[in-house]
Structure 1
Amino acid sequence: MARNKYDEDEQLEAPFDFTHLKRSYVYIKKYQGKMVLSLVLSMAAAVFGLVGPLLTQRALDKTIPEKNVKELMLLGFGLLGFNLAATILGNIRGRIMTVVGQNIIFDIREDLFAHLQKLPFTYYDDRPHGKILIRVINYVNSVSDMLSNGIINFVMEILNMVFILVFMLMVSPKLTLVALSGLPIFMLVMFAIKKQQRRAWQDVSNKSSNMNAYLQENIVGARITQVFTREEENAEIYDQLNGKYRKAWMRAVKFSNLVWPATDNISTLIRAALFVIGLLVMPQGAVSLGVLAAMTGYASRFWQPIMNISNIMNNFINNIAYLERIFETLDEPVTITDKEGAEELGEITGQVSFEDVTFGYEKGINVLEHISFDVKAGESVALVGPTGAGKSTIVSLISRFYDIEHGRITVDGVPISDVTLKSLRSQMGIMLQDSFIFSGTILDNIRYSKLDATDEEVRAAAKTVCADEFIRQMEQGYDTEVNERGSKLSGGEKQLISFARTLLSDPKILVLDEATSSIDAKTEALLQQGINRLLKGRTSFIIAHRLSTIRNCDRIMYIDEKGILESGSHDELMEKRGAYYKLYTAQSA
């Protein structure tokens, strides 16, 4: 996938690889019984549909000349009955395959979503989210039809050709050879069109993916767009992407539209040749009107499965590329996961140790180098320093959002790499800089961290962080619906709700990353009282640029130059008159 590029095409040009099709059998085998039933129904419907020209031949050659009204009526009812049976069986088959197709979509999307939730932060940092979405939505839709209807239709169209060929041979072997004479011409036309047609539709998919990636990015950043009046520039970029998509679509449709006229023209020429050879070339009386009518009917039908098979193969080749992208996502390694033999952490006291830890987001570029420190259970530690020094990185490593390259991190003396992620993170309360609010009620958003929490527990957490008052003032209180990302809430309100969500989990280790950055001074003073009560008996890591909020912490660590430059209480660091002193006095001034 093109990383962080909405204007760069994915490479979808791939050979037809049966390996991917074979691997997809895991999604097919659950429904193979229904697919076999669908195939049987399709075969029966095809045979019933092919009886019609035989009945027409009988009527023209015998029944009508003999003026047998009773037989003619029977033939008419028979024709109606066979066509009706074919329609009913086809409808039943269609319903079965609709269910199968939707079940396959459900299974693939369920696996994709479950896997995407386990992927590390680095996966989402490196890729346009819109291009991830198009794999889960568009590619899965396309692939599911190939895995269900595509396979059945491919087998069915081959059987249709065999059935039609058998019926034609039953009517007239000589005219059957005439009907087959157009095949070489058809193959030449398809050979000239199909490769370009496949590439054209792959280009459509690429341009759709690019447009989707840019659209998703702009929906998320709509407010920033308006703040900086970027509407016209963004509209111009989108027009360019949209124009490329339209151009690609029109080119693909141009190639597709060549198939139908070519097939129709060849089919028309073959039917004309049947009449010419049957009436003018062959001996007089050798071919009856009924035989000609039956053969022209079968000849027109014979070309349909040929064209369908060609389209199905083209669709297969396209969808194999999509299937490869789906499996590529499913194969993306979950680098942050429970190692083999990982044990439950058990209830912790909250002692945290870093032992000679080195870490970098990119190989060869370290953010932290050889950091070591010990935090006692119940101790509060503030991390300060310039932007980008590694403060948020340290708390992310404690939660094991990333794996370290060198050293060891322990909680209560147990390496965090040796325990299950759930047992570690379930005892940590983490409030990141991004106060993400989900669509739903305020009650549901706070309860997100503890699904079995009672309404009273939710309100108690909200009161602790001074959120209860503004929530109760809303029209429906805690049952007030909020939009995705909390667009109707102020920045401070979102942070308070996020804070309540973190506190509700009753963590042994509390991480507050810029927890009060969007809260006014008056609310912050009240909130600080709640924080001080909450910190008692809990190990806490607090990142704050407002140094007045962390004066009472047991320890303050100044992070810079890939390590800890200073460490001590507020008074101790002020006496040193070092980096913390300069930062504090500058901020106070």
Structure 2
Amino acid sequence: MKVGKRLFHYAIHYKTIIFAALLMLTIGVAADLAGPFVAKRIIDFHILGIESKWYETNKGPDSVYYGGTWYKREEYFEENEEKGEQAIILQVGLDFIFTTENVPFEGKRKLNGDLLTVEENGEISTFDVIVLENKEVLRFYKPEIMKIVQLIILYFGLLVISALFQYGQKYNLQKAANRIIQKMRNDVFGQISRLPIRFFDNLPAGKVVARITNDTEAIKELYVTVLANFFSSIIYMVGIYIALMILNVKLALLCLTLIPILVIWTIVYRKYASTYNHVIRSRVSDINGMMNESIQGMNMIQAFGREKEMKDSFEKLNQEHFDYQNKMLRLNSLTSHNLVGFIRNIAFVAFIWYFGNLSLNLESAVTLGMLYAVVDYLNRLFHPVQNIVNQFANLEQALVAGERVFELLDKEGLDVSRVHIPRYEGNVEFQNVSFGYKENEFILKDLTFSAKHGETVALVGHTGSGKSSIMNLLFRFYDANEGRILVDGMDIKTIPHQTLREHMGIVLQDPYLFTGTIASNVSLHDERITREAVEKALKDVGADRVLGHLEKGYDTEVVEKGSTLSSGQRQLISFARALAFNPAILILDEATSSIDTETEAVIQEAMDVLKKGRTTFIIAHRLSTIKNADQILVLEKGRIVERGNHEELMAKKGKYYNMYELQLGIEKNEAV
């Protein structure tokens, strides 16, 4: 499905708000565009309206007293009202004249004293007239004053209505846009939690963050600015064309040539803008990724003096982003004000040509009010045109950003299961399991072993032997390429991921803590884990001895990744987190490798109690910590080369024996 259509489908969720906004917009535009008609009425009918036929009448609301007689304009007589003798008022230059003769309204007029000469179709006629004084002219204007005031009030009222409804439409459109982006960000974040771990192996966190923040913000501009301007501009243009059709059909048809010009210009613009924006959005993502990586690894960068190299790499990305931004700037400069100015000049040349021809034909002369209305509408026509053209850049950015967001949403994810199963016993069996992170490059090869309920199984081996990969498979972060993994006799591939992990706990070598408190990092805000359960878990792992000195105790605030706590304190919190969920299967992934000897002793004391009633897997770095394991699996190049308990393996004097003696010798030397 195309990006535009999918963005439209997001908007459909809030169609009521958007429809209300468009309705308000239509009313606001109609009120705004009615203004020139009111102005035309004021000019043609009232300001210039006294230049018309007048008839003798009785004293009344619209009558004017002049020369001992009451006169009233022809337009103010009722249908069956009796008319007296005719009189005519005409304007010649700056003077107004009064006459009872039948003077034609068309033709070239010339005033000489009290004699008026009119030249019409080559014929010259002469008429006796009276030149009106200023106070007499004002007397004839008196019936128009209240009508002009009423129309001015109407004009102002239309402006107020337009302003109120324009505010309403902007508020509702922005409200709808915020709702759409809120839903989109929730969908993107939800999708991230559904994506398999394999997806994040090749995509830096900064690039993922850019999709959620920068790209969705660009899409927000589409709904808040672009579509709002497009909607309002299109409705304005339709309204203006309707108004021009009412005033002058030929001129309106001439102005319709703007439409194909805009369409062609849009096609040309998008051809180049799409390419530029893809690069720009990609570089923004790369910059975010690099910044995220640099911030997290700043201690290593500074420790090894790589500041200049990192700065050079960043500047290279930033320069490429800058270059393409400049290309977009040049493209936008060519296609915004320049385009509108060019079209406006053509339109006004056509306007002068059209009305110039009309002025040469006296029978087709146009009124001043008509000219005012047409010029007003032509000026108004170019505001929406400019709004549309100026939004081309934002539109293209939003479409490119939408493409990137939907690319992420289209990744095959794992549905979050709400199914709960009873806590299983914890019998685990690997049957001829082979696995590789890359195709045809197996890390684990034909593994077969089992762990009974309540047993502690230790996995040992050199780096890269496959210890952590076994745990990744058990948690279904990845699925085995060959073989089966059973939990209580059930193939784990038949159990939803979340359901399988519900009764598992894990402690990683590098514990991760979230922003919050010590207590919230243990419970992870799970309502099932009470404050008492949190405190018990912390006490069971001995954390009360290590964390008890903190001023706020378990309510001590934790910053991102727990950087203000020692590695031992972080590990104890992570350990308590796993235990608080009371797992049937507990995995310790080299959980004591970065802990000092005193803290390790605390954990070891708790281990004997905690492993009861659950199957425990320990990925061990220090072999001294697994001497009491029920079963030790020695891995080498993805295969199990030895298995047994500590005494059995030491008696064999094989791989495990050599590793243990080597590590024991190193520890003795360090002690010395």
Query: Could you say what secondary structure the match of 1:355 adopts?
Result: strand
Choose which of 52, 62, 70 in structure 1 pairs with 2:35: 52
Q: Is the 1:336–1:401 Cα contact (8 Å) retained in structure 2?
A: no
Cα distance in 2 for partners of 1:184, 1:438 equals 56
Q: Distance in 1 between matches of 2:274 and 2:337?
A: 16
Decide which moves more: 380-389 or 291-300. Answer: 291-300
1:282 partner SS: helix
Answering whether residue 22 of structure 2 is matched by residue 39 of structure 1, we say: yes
- The CA distance in 2 between the partners of 1:335 and 1:198, in whole Å, is 32
Superposed displacement of residue 565, structure 1: 0.3
Distance of 1:196 and 1:472 partners within structure 2: 63
1:78-97, aligned counterparts within 5 Å?
Answer: 78-97=154-173
Per the alignment, residue 368 of structure 2 pairs with 289
**Which segment drifts farther, 151-160 or 564-573?**
151-160
Q: CA deviation at 1:93?
A: 0.9
Q: Which residue of 1 aligns with 2:606?
A: 530
> Residue 126 of structure 2 corresponds to which residue in structure 1?
none
- Aligned partner of 1:5 in structure 2 is none
SS in 2 for 1:437: coil
2:461 to 359, 373, 385: 385
**Structure 1 residue 215 corresponds to structure 2 residue 294:** no
Distance 2:651 2:584 in 1: 32
Describe the SS at the equivalent of 2:433: strand
Decide whether the 8 Å contact of 2:221 with 2:398 is kept in 1. Answer: no
**Which residue pairs with 2:524 in the alignment?**
448
- Specify the alignment match of 1:479 in structure 2: 555
Q: 2:381 aligns with which of 277, 302, 309?
A: 302
Shift, 1:149, TM fit = 6.6
Write out per-residue CA displacement over residues 34-59 of structure 1, whole angstroms, 9 at most, x where no aligned residue.
Answer: 22222121111111111122222233
In the alignment, the residues of structure 1 paired with residue 353 and residue 619 of structure 2 have an alpha-carbon distance, to the nearest angstrom, of 90
The residue type paired with residue 430 of structure 2 is F
Letter of the aligned partner of 2:506 in structure 1? Answer: I
For 2:439 and 2:38, locate their aligned partners in 1 and report how far apart those are by CA, in whole Å: 76
Whether the 8 Å CA contact 1:207–1:248 is kept in 2: the answer is no
1:150 Cα offset (Å): 5.0
Contact preservation (8 Å) 2:460, 2:621: yes
Say if 2:433 is the partner of 1:357: yes
Higher strand proportion (structure 1 or 2):
2
Residue 357 of structure 1, CA deviation? 0.8
Shift of 1:144: 4.4
Question: Could you report, residue by residue, the CA deviation over 1:493-543 in whole angstroms, capped at 9, with x for unpaired residues?
Answer: 111111111121222211111111121112212221111221233211111
Shift of 1:344: 5.4
Higher mean C-alpha displacement, 438-447 vs 78-87: 78-87
Query: Matches of 1:101 and 1:483 in 2, distance apart?
Result: 33
Do 2:464 and 2:637's aligned partners in 1 also have CA atoms closer than 8 Å? no
Aligned to 2:647: 571
Work out the CA distance in 2 between the residues paired with 1:508 and 1:185.
70
2:270–2:396 Cα contact (<8 Å) kept: no
Which residue of 2 is the match for residue 235 of structure 1? 311
Distance 1:349 1:181, change over 3 A: closer
Show CA shifts across 1:299-338 (max 9, x none).
1222333344455666555534433332222221126977
The answer (yes or no) to whether the contact 2:509–2:594 under 8 Å persists in 1 is no
SS of structure 1 residue aligned to 2:509: coil
* Separation in 2, partners of 1:122, 1:177: 60
Answer yes or no: is the 8 Å Cα contact 1:204–1:248 preserved in 2: yes
User: Please, what is the CA RMSD of the aligned residues?
Assistant: 2.7
> 404, 410, 425: which is aligned to 1:325?
404
Q: Which amino acid aligns with 2:343?
A: I
- The yes-or-no answer on 1:263 pairing with 2:246 is no
Match of 1:7 in 2: none
* Deviation per residue, 1:24-75 (Å, 9 max, x gap): 4543333212222221211111111111222222333342334433233223
Partner of 2:133: none
TM-score by length of 1: 0.89
Distance in 2 (alpha carbons) for counterparts of 1:249 and 1:476:
50
Mapped to 1, the partners of 2:283 and 2:589 lie a distance apart of: 39
* 1:515 and 2:582 correspond: no
Quick check: 1:397 aligned with 2:380? no
Which residue of 429, 433, 455 maps to 2:505?
A: 429
How far 1:279 moved relative to its partner? Answer: 4.7
2:146 aligns with: 70
CA distance in 1 between counterparts of 2:258 and 2:225 reads 28
Partner of 1:30: 13
CA contact (8 A) 1:349 1:377 kept: yes
May I ask how many residue pairs the two structures share in their alignment? 569
SS of residue paired to 1:381 = strand
Aligned match of 2:107: none
1:498 corresponds to which residue? 574
Residue 407 of structure 1 aligns to a residue in which SS?
strand
The verdict on how the C-alpha distance between 1:368 and 1:336 changes in structure 2, with shifts beyond 3 A counting, is farther
8 Å Cα contact 1:356/1:370 also seen in 2: yes
Q: Taking structure 1 as reference, are residues 316 and 185 closer, same or farther at Cα in structure 2, changes over 3 Å only?
A: closer
Is residue 343–residue 418 contact of structure 1 (8 Å, CA) maintained in 2? no
Match of 2:280 in 1: 204
Shift of 1:396: 1.9
Structure exhibiting the larger radius of gyration computed from Cα positions: 2
2:570 counterpart SS class? helix
Bigger share in helix: 1
Q: Structure 1 residue 370 and structure 2 residue 446: aligned?
A: yes
Distance in 2 of aligned mates of 1:184 and 1:25: 24
Question: Measured at CA, do residues 421 and 209 of structure 1 come closer, stay the same or move farther in structure 2, by a change above 3 Å?
Answer: closer
SS at match of 1:356: strand
Amino acid at match of 2:329: V
Aligned counterpart, 2:214 = 138
Unaligned 5+ runs, structure 1: 1-17
Cα gap change, 1:336 to 1:181, in 2 (>3 Å): closer
Separation (CA, whole Å) in 2 of partners of 1:94 and 1:225: 48
Distance 1:182 1:150, change over 3 A: closer
1:271–1:300: 8 Å Cα contact kept in structure 2? no
Question: What is the CA distance between 1:406 and its match in structure 2?
Answer: 1.3
Which residue of the other structure, out of 495, 503, 509, is the alignment partner of 1:419?
495
Shift in alpha-carbon separation, 1:538–1:193, aligned structure 2, 3 A: closer
Counterparts of 2:40 and 2:510 in 1: how far apart (Å)?
76
Between the aligned partners of 2:257 and 2:524, the Cα distance in structure 1 is: 69
* Secondary structure of 1:373's aligned partner: strand
Q: Could you say what secondary structure the match of 2:150 adopts?
A: helix
